[in-house]
Amino acid sequence: MLSSASARARESGRGEVADYLDLRSSNDLIRRAGVKWIFDTMLELAAEANRRRLSVTIDRIDPHSFEHAGANIVGSRLEFRHGVRCLTVEAGWTRTPTDGFIRGGGLAIARLRHFGIPGAGATLSLIKGGEVAEWRPIDGDRVGGIVEMHHLGRHIDLLTDVQP
C-alpha cells in the first residue's frame, strides 16, 4: 500500500511525499524485524527453561497497546508465568499521528516488567545506528549499550528464580 502511494506521489510531482512514504516503509520493516527478534528471543529462552523442566507458561495478546512517555505504543504482548511469578514483554511502535512519537529517535519500544519486582524491569528503544538497528536500554534520558540475548536471559532467570 505504501509503495503504490509512493509511486502515485512521484507521478504527481510530489517527491517529498514519496520520499517520506519510502522512509516509512523502510522503517516499518526494521521495526517489525526488531520486535520479532525480541519476541523470538524471549520465546526461545522460555523454551530452553521448559526443556530444563522449569515449567514456564506463555500467553500472547495481539493486538496490544501500552503507554510510553506520553505516546501510545501499538504492538503485541507476551506473558511468561512460572508459579506466581509473571514476566510481561510488550513491544511495538506508534502507528498514527494521534499515537504521538517515540522520544530520542527510537523506531520501536519494548518493555519488560516483572510482577511484584518493579525495579527489575527494563525499557528498551530500537535505535537505528547506521546500517543496523539495535535495541538499547533506556535509563531516564540516557540510552545504554546494545541489548543482546544474554541480557534478555537474565529476565527469564529472574522469572524462574535461577541464579546466574
pLDDT in tens, 67-100: 999 999 999 999 999 999 999 999 999 998 899 9
Res 83: pLDDT: 94
In contact, 104 and 138? CB cutoff 8 Å: yes
Give residue 86's pLDDT: 97
Q: How many Å apart are CA 50 and CA 149, to the nearest integer?
A: 17
> Which set of grid coordinates corresponds to residue 140?
531516564
Which residue type does 158 have?
L
With a cut of 50, list the residues of the chain below it in pLDDT.
none
Spatial CA neighbour of 73 closest among 102, 106, 50, 48:
102
- According to DSSP, the β-strands at 132-139 and 71-82 are unpaired
**Start-to-end C-alpha separation, the chain:** 47
Report which of 98, 89, 108 is spatially closest to residue 28, judged by C-alpha positions. 108
**What is the pLDDT, as a whole number, of residue 10?**
61
Report the pLDDT value the prediction gives residue 20, as an integer from 0 to 100: 60
Q: pTM for the complete prediction?
A: 0.83
